[in-house]
Amino acid sequence: MTTIVTGGAGFIGSNFIFYMLKKHPEERIICVDKLTYAGNLSTLASVMDNPNFRFVKADICDESAIDQLFVEEHPDVVVNFAAESHVDRSIKDPNIFLQTNIMGTANLMNVARKYGVQRFHQVSTDEVYGDLPLDRPDLFFTEETPIHTSSPYSSSKAAADLLVLAYHRTYGLPVTISRCSNNYGSYQFPEKLIPLMFIDATENRPLPVYGEGLNVRDWLYVEDHCQAIDLILQNGRVGEVYNIGGHNEMRNIDIVKIICQTLGKPESLIEHVTDRKGHDRRYAIDPTKIHNELGWLPETNFKDGIAETLKWYQDNQDWWQQIINGDYQKYYEKMYANR
């Protein structure tokens, strides 16, 4: 069995590669990654010498590179993590999101159709459902919830999902889609809430909470997401969408306070800044389908997962120092100055 994992030098893709090489050591994994600002080859250092692993630097939009790879590797499965993934960047500059997230997915599927695969799995997001009101804790996203996006990022992911389903219906491509809630864990790029607040707090800088900080996200430990995708690859029904989430809703402000407490930093570092444009209020996944059909349940509770994650960032300063010493400072200036 040979699986192509796109975007494997990023946060969730790298964790998925580690998970798969450990869980299925007999299977071959080919990581395809363009190494954008979010991709980091050092993340994959521990598996580079594994004979069942190969890294290929390529853009998923590059038809000839992807075609050539299929000729060389005859993959059975494609798992598409590669994407522009940060909502704030999509608000500043949407175009690359349309290119990678929509055209890149179409390009991968065109090549997969040409050579044939057992499965094309699209890693999607709960953000395609839009948001839920804060005063209706009884409402959740199911797989039947209409697509109703807010940001250029979520719209590009929704467009890709529709294309994936169309390739199944029109061409019979054997697809599955997973729509997961917010992930946290090791190797997450520090533009996202938890690692960003960890680094700012560590360096005694202001913690920029958007608006009142009352927006709610449904947090899932990254390894639980990886396990769910593995189950979908093994036993998921072709043509189906599976929501992934662990009923762990938290307000942003409470996450930031946990980070302050864990690091022994004062909450006076918290600074309420101008809200994100079009900011989704609440995400909350109903994971009944994946639980009933595939027996999936998250294994890591938030208390343990966040402690583990913050410890990982404390123990792996080299990993994030390398990032914040590069273009990251310019990004931070652009995104947070005068906010």
| CB closer to ligand NAD out of 265 and 286 | 286
Of residues 75 and 156, the one with the C-beta less far from ligand TDX: 156
Minimum distance between the CB of residue 308 and ligand NAD, rounded to whole angstroms?
16
Whose CA is closest to 139, among 297, 285, 291?
285
**Residue from 155, 252, 300, 309 in contact with ligand TDX (CB under 6 A):** 252
Sequence length of the chain is: 339
The residue within the footprint of ligand NAD, chosen from 18, 55, 70, 81 (CB under 6 A), is 81
Read off the tokens for 230. Answer: 């593995």
Minimum distance from CB of 82 to ligand NAD (Å)?
A: 4
Element (H, E) at 312: helix 302-315
CB 223, min distance to ligand NAD, A: 13
d(CA 137, CA 32): 40
Contact residues for 138 (Cβ-Cβ < 8 A; gap 6+): none
Closest C-alpha among 150, 270, 256, 157 to residue 208: 270
Catalytically annotated residues: 126-127, 153
Q: Would you call 68 exposed, middle or buried from its count of C-beta atoms within 10 A (0-12, 13-18, 19+)?
A: middle
- Which residues, 101 to 140, sit near ligand TDX by CB under 6 A? 125, 127
Check if the beta carbon of residue 215 is closer than 8 Å to that of residue 279.
Answer: yes
Min dist CB 32 to ligand NAD, Å, is 6
Site for ligand NAD in 117-136 (CB under 6 A): 123, 125
Secondary structure of residue 79 in the 3-state scheme: strand
Residue type, 138: D
Stretch that binds ligand TDX, among 15-23, 207-215, 237-245, 289-297 (CB under 6 A): 207-215
Closest by CA position to 316, among listed 195, 235, 203, 205? 195
Choose among ligand NAD, ligand TDX, none what residue 68 binds, the Cβ cut-off being 5 to 8 Å by kind.
none
Residue 13 engages ligand NAD in binding (rule: CB under 6 A):
yes
Convert 236-257 to b/e letters by CB count within 10 Å (16 or more is b): beeebbbbbbbebbbbbbebbb
User: Closest approach of Cβ 36 to ligand TDX, in Å?
Assistant: 14
Minimum CB distance to ligand NAD smaller for 33 or for 200:
33
Using CB under 6 A as the criterion, what x/- string covers residues 150-189 for binding ligand NAD? -------x----------------------x-xx-----x
User: Quick one: DSSP state of residue 4?
Assistant: E
- Closest CB to ligand NAD among residues 13, 298: 13
Helix boundaries (H) for 203-316: 222-235, 252-263, 288-294, 302-315
> Residue 276, interface with ligand TDX (CB under 6 A)?
yes
Min dist. Cβ of residue 264 to ligand NAD (A) = 27
284 binds ligand NAD (CB under 6 A): no
Which tokens is 234 given? Answer: 């093994």
Place of tokens 């009352």: 214
What residues line the site for ligand TDX (CB under 6 A)? Answer: 85-87, 125, 127, 182, 192-193, 196, 208-210, 215, 217, 252, 276
What residues line the site for ligand NAD (CB under 6 A)? Answer: 6-7, 9-13, 33-36, 38-39, 59-61, 81-85, 100, 104, 123, 125, 157, 180, 182-183, 189
